[in-house]
Amino acid sequence: MSDRPLMQTIARMVPPGSRVLDLGCGDGALLHLLQRERGCSGYGVEIADANVLACVRRGVDVIQLNLEEGLAMFDDDSFDVVLQIDTLQHLRNAETMLRETARVGKVGIVAFPNFAHWPNRLAVARGRMPVTKRLPYQWYDTPNIRVGTYKDFEVLATRNRLSLLDAFGMQEGREVRLLPNLRAGTAVFRFERG
């Protein structure tokens, strides 16, 4: 993860000393930050060989696993916090993985590009798919298999009986709490089972 302000914001949401599972951990930068600055322990889960190697080089414990196969290897409440930062939009079974996040963790934290951010809406109104800092790919080469909005996640959380503990947007390194669906490029949620 290269978005340093988002990483710092997520890190502040994780209680010191937590046992953390980072789903789709990439190169392990966030988990490494949590270990170093918050005294956390835990594992990253990643599928890409290069990212698994980067995790190992950082000293981050990592499990190479395809998230589409689920989290059956983990018991209920195995972790204090489960992270899905820029992961949901890459999964075919996003709702199932959200439920699994709530099952294996006492608290879940997700963040994803907010498709309802006003520049994205403007691009669509002009007849084009948006290309922005948070959605930097053309429609034909994006790794995102779905797009979602801040409001969509609120509905999904309610449908899955998740209690939202905190919800806000991020834009240019700042938290956006007023009209985040319109004003923020990233949606951020902290939740627990209801």
CB 112 within 8 A of CB 86: yes
Task: For the chain of 194 residues, list the mean pLDDT of each consecutive stretch of 10.
Answer: 88 98 97 98 97 97 94 97 96 94 98 96 94 90 92 97 98 97 98 94
Report if residue 24 sits inside a domain: yes
- Note whether residue 142 is domain-resident: no
84, part of any domain: yes
Residue 58, in any domain of the structure: yes
In a domain, 158, yes or no: yes
In a domain, 123, yes or no: no
Domain region containing 167: 4-115+147-193
Provide the whole-model pTM: 0.95
**Domain of residue 153, CATH code:** 3.40.50.150
Q: How many domains does the chain have?
A: 1
Residue 107 forms part of a structural domain:
yes
CA distances from 68 to 65, 81, 135 (A): 9, 20, 22
Alpha helical stretches, state H, 15-172: 29-38, 49-58, 94-104, 118-125, 150-159
68 assigned to some structural domain: yes
Whether 174 and 145 have beta carbons less than 8 Å apart is answered as no
137-183 tens-digit pLDDT: 999 999 888 999 999 999 999 999 999 999 999 999 999 999 999 99
